[in-house]
Amino acid sequence: DMGYADLGCMGGKDAKTPNIDRLAKEGVKFTQFYSNAPVCTPTRAAFITGRYQQRSGLEWALGFTAEQWRRENGRWIAEPDKYAPGLVPRGNSIAQLLHVLGYRCGIFGKWHLGFQPRFNPTRHGFHDYFGVLTGHADYYKHNYFDGTHVLREGDKEVKAKGYLTDLINQRAVHFINDNAHRPFFLYVPHLAVHFPFHVPDDPAQVLTKENHNKGTRRDYIKMLERVDLGVGQMLTALEKTGNIDNTLFILSSDNGGYYLSDNSPFFHHKSTLWEGGVRVPCLMRWPDRLPKGTTSNQVGITMDLTATILNAAGLKPSKDIPLDGFDLLPIVTGKQKEIDRTLFWRIDREGRKQKSVRDGKWKYLKDDMIELLFDLDQDVAQRHNLNYRHPEVVARLRNSLAAWEAEMDKS
């Protein structure tokens, strides 16, 4: 839920993020990067698989109620919790593929790709896991607001004392130190800055159903700055182990910022397909391969990170299960010119039906019954609807979207 302009390197003014800003200063900053979805679960599914989340049937954030929802044959179906959906292991996750190459794979943080043990990260090729399985939890008690304890070590329930962000940072640092002399893949999906807005160093806070979504901008900033502290701790660990220059370090967000975030200059926020719901920061630092202190206007998306990481590790794409993502390294290293991309999004839920295409400079957005067209080169705030001036573009993108949906619904 980090906002596009919350970071100093992205124009932020009120939060201090020197360690994250260092990634931009010593690496590449993307200005046109997107999450695969406007909420967390589908974006995470896209990252783990390197493919559109629709292929996994996970198009919206998983709930944690008596009934879960899954999509089948173009419609949503309620299922009892014992049949709750999650990301099914198929042998092609990013961790499983890197495992084959001899990488030690660890994940510390929020999973949110299935609560049942059969969906646990350890079933997806991760050797080490510590974190919460659900979409949010008490940062001190590590419970969901119904009282269910959701902290896990591997697939076992575990108790731990401390602020969740600090615990995640500590585990990440230990993992770097423990694997200093072997190739490793470390995935650190912080729960912060997602609600509840529990600030560091104040364990008296109590999570309830009534207060779980209440907070202030200052609370949010304190949470973000503790994430930044962890980035600094990881960079220090890489320095001390001699791996600071040969490690690809990427930071991004799972969707646009929520109501306490700063999504400037974009309109709207999380849970929508307006730019504020899916345009996110992305930073890459890798001194051995990437230029220093550069900005890239290349359009990218979460599943591109999967392709980029796998190609950096030397893995050849599979013909059986091809990636939908795109390797960004040739472009950011200057070996290839920036290219236009065609990317798709969909929300198909009661109360919110949106579909969108980004094609070159054009952003087509179907918001319920209304068709909108924006020239993002001239109008990043999406204030000027051009659909009546360019009906041929609208028709082309509408048809492109229909073809993409047909392919996704067959997957």
Marked catalytic residue, from 9, 40, 105, 282: 40
Marked catalytic residue, from 112, 127, 194, 198: 112
- Three-state SS at 52: coil
Q: What are phi and psi of 22, to 5 degrees?
A: -60, -35
* Token digits of residue 130: 């510590």
Angstrom distances, CA of residue 288 to CA of 30, 248, 291:
19, 9, 9
Q: What are phi and psi of 181, to 5 degrees?
A: -110, 25
Does 282 qualify as catalytic in the annotation? no
CB distance 283 to 9 below 8 Å: yes
Closest CA to 188 of 123, 130, 257, 242: 130
Stated length of the chain: 411
- Three-state SS at 98: helix
Which residues 6+ apart lie within 8 Å of 238 measured at CB?
176, 244, 247, 249
Does 124 qualify as catalytic in the annotation? no
Closest CA to 332 of 265, 391, 382, 285: 285
d(CA 378, CA 384): 9
* Token digits of residue 67: 């009934």
The torsion of the CA quartet 285, 289, 291, 296, rounded to 10 degrees, works out to -70
d(CA 198, CA 52): 32
Angle of the 18-25 helix axis to the 217-240 helix axis, nearest 10: 60
CB distance 135 to 194 below 8 Å: yes
Quote the DSSP letter at residue 27.
S
d(CA 57, CA 37): 13
Sign of CA dihedral 56, 57, 61, 66: negative
* Token digits of residue 52: 């559109």
Q: What are phi and psi of 103, to 5 degrees?
A: -80, 140
Q: Which positions are catalytic?
A: 40, 112
